[in-house]
Amino acid sequence: MANASYGQFCPVAMAAEILCTRWTIVLVRELAAGSTRFNDLRRGVPRMSPALLSQRLKDLEAAGIVHRTPVHGESGVFEYRLTRAGQELAPVVEAFGIWGKRWIDGDLSLEKLDVQLLMWDMRRGLVLDPMPDRKTIVQFRYTDLPADRRSWWLVVEPGAETELCSVDPGHDVDLYAATDLRTMTAIWMGYDSVAAATADRRLLLTGDDGLTASIEAWLGLSPFAKTRPVEAIAAG
């Protein structure tokens, strides 16, 4: 980062030298969302190479934005957490997202589909209260994807972190959701809805009646789903 200087004393330029390198602000987004371990961070930035992720974490640590601590009892494993300076970036990241949702054409967003990122975000966004007080398995099947990326499972268990599996976990499935990746991404981002997608059969739900009826409550959405695009505001 030291070589990418704007040569200006302006605080905006100084901050940009740290935050505007490729992938950095997206990585801060993942840290702000609660990911702390290297492999979890990788799942939130699946197109970022492990070498670059490692370098960006080192850069952020050197800048005082990230603090790295060893995990007790796990040799060579570290957790990465935002420092006070890093935590102050959370509203900056949120403002980026709000601006992007308001001013960037939603169709452009929906051209950049990534099933791994979508499912990782969905796992994080689940609202557990409306779900049954038992182990619950939800399978998402993306009918337009190749076989090796088509099926994903969310394993939800009270008192445990929700698991995301791309290989069958071997449990009975409580709810099957079949759709295409664009439709599910649009629902997650707030451009579409479960009700509209099920009504015209772009989303098919099969299984537990209670889970089916309450999906709009437990599915959760992107933190930016409620932000209305400028064209929608103007039209309304």
What is the structure's pLDDT at 6?
84
| β pairing state of 175-179 and 136-142 | parallel
Q: Mind listing the pLDDT tens digit for each residue in 79-136?
A: 999 999 999 999 999 999 999 999 999 899 899 999 999 999 999 999 988 888 999 9
Report which residue type is found at 37: R
Using alpha carbons, select from 171, 119, 106 the residue that is nearest to residue 145: 119
Tens of pLDDT, residues 216-233: 999 989 999 999 988 765
Residue 158 has pLDDT above 80, yes or no: yes
pTM (predicted TM-score): 0.87
Name the residue among 228, 229, 203, 234 with its Cα closest to residue 216: 203
Statement: residue 173 has pLDDT above 60? yes
State residue 233's pLDDT score.
Answer: 59
Q: How far is the CA of 40 from the CAs of 33, 70, 142, 172, in angstroms?
A: 11, 16, 23, 26
CB burial string 60-92: b at 16+ within 10 A, e below: beebebbeeeeeeeeeeeeebebeeebeebeee
pLDDT of residue 220: 87
Which has the minimum average pLDDT: 24-33, 143-152, 227-236?
227-236
CB-CB contact of 53 with 41 (8 Å):
yes
